[in-house]
Amino acid sequence: MGLVINQKLVNDETGKQLVELCPFNAISYENGKLDIGVGCKLCKMCVRKGPQGVVTFQEDEIVKVNKDEWNGICVYADSDHGVLHKVTFELIGKAKELASVINHPVYALLIGNNCDEDIKELLSYGVDKVFVYEHEELRDFDIEKYANCFSDFIETVKPSSILVGATNVGRCLAPRVAARFHTGLTADCTRLEMKENTDLVQIRPAFGGNIMAQIVNPNRRPQFCTVRYKIFNSPEKVEEPKGEVVRVEIKQEWLKSNTEILKIEEKPRELDISEADVIVAVGRGLKSVDDLAMVNELAELLGGVVACSRPMVEAGIFDAKHQIGLSGKTVKPKLIITLGISGAIQFTAGMNGSDCIIAVNSDPEAQIFDVCNYGIVGDMYEVIPQLIKQIKGE
């Protein structure tokens, strides 16, 4: 797809017209030759209003995939040395829901070593098949080796859709594999829907959260997407798992890699607000860093953690690991108290799945009151001390 120049029709007159016509200064005319540069935005002004036939727009031939050849919804089982990331279970729950629309099976793809416990756990969540790529050289994550195994799974099984957790591994692995199959990938989806023709509707915030984009990939398979942790709910475990285990024989060429892992060092455990049951989040309403003492006291009394909105990170008051929102983390605590946070969609998209939301803001028109369960219109500096007293029973 793109613009095509018929150089036979280019002369000083037509060249000058097109150069003046382009609103992005992307067209140049030198030494009798017309050229369209990287500044072109494909507005097609040169096609519609330029000299006829000099510049034309050529559509790529669309090769449609035979969707009947692709069957099943696969969840990539993100395992770190025998510990499955909880986003895997959330995706299995969503995969089962999507599969019920088109009567497809649900698969889990597991790559690693010493996988027996992971297999049992995956089966307990009701997947139809677990495809296992197990080898001692797959114990540690190596992008090339894992991508080779992933690619073999797609070529052999031909799943229609693949759901991957937006973990460090998932965000690294999914785009590499998707690129191998010349198919699209939608990152950080917040909703997924399935059409009866097996097209996966991948919904995610766009333009800073101002719109929700619905992305469909109708002409390629498989359909790839990544989803953040705490977006969907985990399903109930089944009492009598009936899923099948398919152990794939590893070929030596799959284990070739240009990367050699010399040593694995465990990072110190850091705060993960995604795992917290209680969160006290603070925003622009905080006047001074010194005032964090009362916020920390409130969080400590509730057995929770302190988080923040994006402006607090930009101001250097908090580390990014404390941030909730589209550019931070998604949380789903039992209780979240927001203090001095206006409630822009960039923030609320990261916490509106919380069981109970209590908002404190001095502005009665603040957007946060549209999503909270309980709202307090008031100054956080007056409300927090009162909450602390109530909790202490003073």
Rg (C-alpha) for the chain, rounded Å, is 26
Nearest Cα neighbor of 274 from 347, 340, 354, 341 is 354
Q: Kindly state the tokens that stand for 234.
A: 């985990």
Strand, helix or coil at 52? coil
> Is the pLDDT at 216 greater than 90, yes or no?
yes
Which residues on adjacent β-strands are paired with residue 213? Answer: 204
> Is the pLDDT at 106 greater than 90, yes or no?
yes
Q: Which pLDDT belongs to residue 272?
A: 86
- Torsion sign over Cα 304, 305, 306, 309: negative
Q: How far, in Å, CA of 281 to CA of 350, rounded? A: 12
> Is the pLDDT at 360 greater than 90, yes or no?
yes
Structure confidence by residue, pLDDT tens digits, 234-285: 999 998 899 999 999 999 999 999 988 888 887 777 778 998 999 999 999 9
- Torsion sign over Cα 20, 26, 27, 28: positive
> Is the pLDDT at 20 greater than 90, yes or no?
yes
Q: Kindly state the tokens that stand for 315.
A: 């101001």
381 — alpha (psi -120 to 50), left (phi > 0) or beta?
alpha
Q: Which pLDDT belongs to residue 392?
A: 87
**Percent of the chain with pLDDT strictly greater than 90:** 80
Among the residue ranges 69-78, 95-104, 159-168, 202-211, the one predicted with the least confidence is: 202-211
79 vs 62, residue with greater confidence: 79
Mean pLDDT of the chain, nearest integer: 92
Which amino acid appears at position 116 of this protein?
A: D
Q: Which pLDDT belongs to residue 211?
A: 81
Cα dihedral: 35, 39, 43, 45 (round 10): -40
Q: Which pLDDT belongs to residue 394?
A: 67
Between helix 292-301 and helix 380-392 the angle, nearest 10°, is 30
61 vs 152, residue with greater confidence: 152
Q: How far, in Å, CA of 61 to CA of 48, rounded? A: 22
Mean pLDDT over residues 300-313, rounded? Answer: 94
Q: Which pLDDT belongs to residue 264?
A: 84
All domains of the chain in start order, with CATH? 2-58 (3.30.70.20), 67-255 (3.40.50.620), 273-392 (3.40.50.1220)
Query: Is 354 within 8 Å of 336 (Cβ atoms)?
Result: yes
Mean pLDDT over residues 167-189, rounded? Answer: 95
Nearest Cα neighbor of 389 from 292, 294, 291 is 294
Q: Which pLDDT belongs to residue 63?
A: 75
Mean pLDDT over residues 363-368, rounded? Answer: 93
Burial category of 293 from C-beta neighbours within 10 Å (exposed 0-12, middle 13-18, buried 19 and up) = exposed
Which residues on adjacent β-strands are paired with residue 374? Answer: 358
Nearest Cα neighbor of 187 from 164, 210, 161 is 164
16 vs 394, residue with greater confidence: 16
Q: How far, in Å, CA of 312 to CA of 289, rounded? A: 10
Q: Which pLDDT belongs to residue 260?
A: 86
User: How many helices (H) and strands (E) are present in the chain, helices listed first?
Assistant: 10, 21
Nearest Cα neighbor of 79 from 68, 87, 71, 90 is 87
Tell me the helix, strand and coil percentages in the chain, rounded to 5: 30, 25, 45
Burial category of 191 from C-beta neighbours within 10 Å (exposed 0-12, middle 13-18, buried 19 and up) = middle
> Is the pLDDT at 393 greater than 90, yes or no?
no
Mean pLDDT over residues 302-314, rounded? Answer: 94
> Is the pLDDT at 286 greater than 70, yes or no?
yes
Q: Which pLDDT belongs to residue 1?
A: 63
